[in-house]
Homo-oligomer: A and B are copies of this chain.
Amino acid sequence: MSYPWARRVGGMASSAIREILKITERPDIISFAGGLPAAELFPRTELTRAFALAAGDPLALQYGPTEGYGPLREYIAGVMGQKGVPLTAEEILIVSGSQQALDLVAKIFLDPGDPVATELPVYTGALQVFRSYEARLSALPGDGHGPDPGALERVLREQRPKLIYLAPTFNNPTGRTISAARRRELAALLEKYAVPLIEDDPYSDLRYSGNPVPPLKAHDAGGRVVYLGTFSKTVAPGLRLGWAAADKEIVAKLVLAKQGVDLHTGSLVQRALHRYLTWSDCAGHVAAVRREYASRRDAMIRAMQRMFPPGVTWMEPEGGMFLWVTLPAYLDAARLLPEAVAAKVAYVPGTAFFPDGGGANYMRLNFTNSSPPLIEEGVERLAGVLSRYCSG
C-alpha cells in the first residue's frame, strides 16, 4: 500500500534506544540500556489510596480545563519557588509528561527549516521532536561543564537559532551539570539575542552528592526560558505527568496548541497526583529513592573500577540516572553491542546521542533500574567483552 505521507514523516525515526530496548527485553539480559526508574520503589500503596480519594471529586472523571487542575498548578508553582524560580500558577501548564511539553514548545516556535541549537551529546527524544518539525539542528560546542558561553555567542550571532535546547542538570546521556556561574552567563546571552531556550530538567531532584544549583530559569529576567519538569523520576512515569513553566504569553500559546493535540491531561490522574503530593510524605519518598540510586551509582562505579580494562574511563555524575563511559578511540560501541547482547548485557551506544554522527566510542549505562548484585554481574559481563579489545 502506498500512502501520501507528509514530508516530516521522512525525518521520523524510532528512537534508537526504544529499538534496543525491544531486543533487550529478554529476561536473561541485564539491561543498562533503558532510562527506567526502579519500579520496586514506586509509592504504589500511597498512589492507590490517592486515586481512590481523588475519584470522589465529582469533576475527576469529567472534561477539564486545558491549562490543568488548578490546585496542582498552584502546588507546582510552589515547587518552582523552592527551586529559586518564584512564579504563579498562571505560569504553569500541566502536560502529559514533559515529552509533550517539548513537542508543544517546538510546535509554537518552529517552522520548517528553522535552526535549533542543542547541547551535544543530547537527549534523543528532543532530536525526535525537532526533526518532526523539520528543524535544522546544530550543536553547541562545550566541555564537561556544558556549552561554552563564548561558543554559544558565536552560534547565536552566526546561525541565529530560533530555539535552544539544554538539560542543564545531570543531562542525559552524560550526567554533567552546568555550573551556576555559567548558567548566569548563558541566561544573559538569551536576553541579549532575544532567543527562547528549553530548559529540560527531569533529573535535578535525583542529586546524590554536591550542592543543588538553581535552574537556568532562576536567572531568566526576560522570560526567555521555558522550564520543563516531570513527576516521572520522582513519583512514577506511568502516570505521564509533567509541566512547563514559562512566561504567561508563552503558556497561552502552549494552551492553544495543547487544546488541539489532546484537549487536556487526564482529570483523575491530576487530582490523584495532587492528593499524593499533599497528603503523603513525598519528600521522604524521594529521599529514599535518592539513597537507593546513590548506592546503585556507587555499586556500578566500584564494579567498573575493579573490572573494566585500562583505557576505559567515565564521568562520576553527582546525580541523574546514567554513567557515560568513554572507550578507547579505536572502539565502536555500536559494533560491540551484538557481542554484549550475546554475553547477556546491554547498553546504548553513544552514536544515538549525536545527531550528525560521532560518539562511536561512548556508551551510556543506566544504573537506576538494576539492583546492586545485578549491576555487579552486568558490569562483569561487559568487562569480559571490553577486555577482548582493550590491551591496556
Chain B residues near A5 (CB, 8 Å)? 108-109, 253
Chain B residues near A2 (CB, 8 Å)? 194
Do the beta carbons of A259 and B128 come within 8 Å of each other?
yes
Identity of the chain B residue whose Cβ is nearest the Cβ of A37 in the assembled complex: B62
Instruction: List 4 additional A-B contacts (Cβ < 8 Å) besides A39-B59, A61-B238.
Output: A8-B107, A51-B51, A112-B112, A240-B267
Mark each residue of chain A from 268 to 294: 1 if its CB lies under 8 Å from any CB of chain B, else 0. Answer: 110000000000000000000000000
Q: Could you say how many copies of this chain the assembly holds?
A: 2
In this assembly, does A236 line the interface, its C-beta being within 8 Å of a C-beta of chain B?
yes
Do the beta carbons of A6 and B262 come within 8 Å of each other?
no
Do the beta carbons of A1 and B249 come within 8 Å of each other?
yes
Do the beta carbons of B249 and A62 come within 8 Å of each other?
no
Query: Chain A, interface size: which category?
Result: 35 or more
Interchain CB contact (< 8 A) of A12 among B109, B132, B253 = B253
Chain A residues 252 to 272 lying within 8 A of chain B, measured CB to CB, are 253, 255-257, 259-269
Do the beta carbons of A256 and B12 come within 8 Å of each other?
yes
Interchain CB contact (< 8 A) of A238 among B34, B37, B51, B266 = B266
Chain B residues near A370 (CB, 8 Å)? none
Q: How far is the CA of A213 from the CA of B57 in the complex (A)?
A: 37
Among A39, A99, A260, max chain B CB count under 10 A is at A260
Do the beta carbons of A1 and B247 come within 8 Å of each other?
yes
Do the beta carbons of B12 and A261 come within 8 Å of each other?
no
Give min CB distance, A363 to chain B, whole Å.
21
Do the beta carbons of B240 and A266 come within 8 Å of each other?
yes
In this assembly, does A52 line the interface, its C-beta being within 8 Å of a C-beta of chain B?
yes
Contacts A52-B48, A61-B238; is A99 near B253 (CB within 8 Å)? no
Do the beta carbons of B107 and A132 come within 8 Å of each other?
yes
Chain B residues near A42 (CB, 8 Å)? 61-62
Among A9, A162, A250, max chain B CB count under 10 A is at A9
Q: How far is the CA of A55 from the CA of B64 in the complex (A)?
A: 24
